[in-house]
Structures are given as structure tokens and as C-alpha cells.
Amino acid sequence: MPAENQECDCSGGAPAWMTTFGDMMSLLLTFFILIVSFSSIQEVEFQKAIGSLKGALGVLDYKRSTVSLASLKNIRLDIKNLALVMPELERLKSAIEQAKISKYVDIQPLPDAIKFTLQNQILFDLGKANLKPSIFPVLFEIAKVARKTKGTLRIEGHTDDLPIKTLQFPSNWELSSMRAISVLHYFENLGIPRKKLSCVGYADTRPLVPNTSPQNRAKNRRVEIYLVPGKDSNLLKASLDKLQNMNFVLPDSRKPLKDNRSHSNGQKNQRR
């Protein structure tokens, strides 16, 4: 019998194990597709989910920080300067307490300076620009702090809204300016370099409170002294914060300061 006419004795279809193998491969393919899809989740959404979980569990986030050698040197420098400045700040507070003028003096740390606000009751007589001797110890201690921190002093004079018109002070502009100049001259006579001093008079243009009562007008009549240190700005603010929470007693051996300037009485000026 010819070979082409012989019937094949082979069994039909693939072996049975191929069906199981194909199902397994399909499942593996699906599994890998799911893995790839999960890996493409947006990082922002993932971080939100993690953050919610941390918040619920009270877990604090950890952030890695670096400390440079320069910052360590600055810290050591600030500690050294703090020891130099603190005695002056202590004496300043003592001088204020000794003169019993705490309610007329305000010390406010600012981002780039320290502001000393002194009410006119302790600085000048009404309508005049000659400093009262009782304020000399306070100004003396402010000058010492300025020298220690190698800072600059900016003096601003302010008045209330009551007009004044005299030969010496035609308006509040002249009065506020002369009061600021008087404080500047006192600092200059204490040895503060002229290049580190500046002053300006604002008259009644920058009131602290509305000029609606005698009490408010008294608050607006003031001199503001801005001590602007250079590198010791943060140091000085930290020192003042610490100083405000401490009580200091002025030694009995302290001698009262004498004014180095000669003040002329000048004309008598009265406010309207």
C-alpha cells in the first residue's frame, strides 16, 4: 500500500497539561500588569496618603539637616558676644528701675533692631527740647550697649497734634526734630561716633494712639531710639528677651552720671 494512503495513528489536539500551563501564564501576565499599574501612582497622592496615616498615628516627620562649619563658628561667636552684652543690658534695666520710670520706657525687639520708646515725661518739659538730667543714666546704658554691639543709633522725635508756634519752634516739626537732636548730641558726647548716629523729627504724623485725650497725647509725645546692631541682631534680641524676665538690683556704690553738655535755658516756650 502506498505511504500516502496510510492513516495517521496520532491522537488529536494538544496535551492536557498545556491548558493548565496557558492558564498559569495568563494569570502571571495579569499579575505583572497590575504591578506595573500600581507603580505608576502619582507621588503626590502617595505622600498625601502617608501623611494622613502619620497624622492619625501621631508620627512626626523626620527631615535630615546639615550643619556647616561656618554656622558652628557663628554659634560660638554669639555665645562669646552674649557674655559681653549681658552686663550692659542688666545695667540698662537696673538704671530704668532705679529711676522708677519703667512705665515710661518700652523695649521692643524688632526683626532688624531694638526699639526703645521713651515718653516725653521723662525726657523734656512741655514745649521744650532740653533733656532732663533724670534720663541721663538710661541713655548712658543704651550707649554702652550700642558700643558693645558696634551698632548704630537712629533717634526719632514725635509730638502730639497740639500746635505750637514760638520763635524757637514755629511748628511741631521743629520741636520734634530738636528733641531728637538733643538725644543725638548726648550720645555724641558720650563717645558714640557721629557716623553711627542719625535723627529725624516726625512731628505729629505718626501717633501711637489717637489724639483724643490728654492721656493719649502724652503717649504720642515720645522719642524712639532704634539700636541697629550688625551681626549681633539675633543675639541682642535673645538677650533682651532673657533680660525682661529677670530682676536686677542696682549696686549702692553706683555713682550718678553727670551730663557732659552745657544746656542753655533759652526762651521759655509754652504750648497752646
Domain extent listing, the chain: 90-244
Q: In whole angstroms, give the CA distance from residue 202 to residue 165.
A: 16
Q: How much is the pLDDT for 28?
A: 75
What nine digits make up the cell of 101?
Answer: 520710670
Which mean pLDDT values do the consecutive 10-residue runs of the chain (272 residues) have?
Answer: 56 63 75 67 57 52 49 45 60 74 82 86 91 90 83 94 93 96 95 93 96 94 88 54 45 36 40 42
Closest-CA residue to 120 (of 208, 39, 238, 58)? 208
Do the beta carbons of residue 109 and residue 242 sit within 8 Å?
A: no
Q: In whole angstroms, give the CA distance from residue 220 to residue 209.
A: 7
152-158 and 105-109 as β-strands: parallel, antiparallel, unpaired?
unpaired
Do the beta carbons of residue 183 and residue 199 sit within 8 Å?
A: yes
Q: How much is the pLDDT for 26?
A: 78
Do the beta carbons of residue 152 and residue 103 sit within 8 Å?
A: no
| CATH top-level class of 90-244 | alpha beta
Q: How much is the pLDDT for 27?
A: 78
Q: In whole angstroms, give the CA distance from residue 224 to residue 16.
A: 99
Distances (CA, A) of 164 to 125, 147, 173, 175, 269: 14, 36, 10, 8, 9
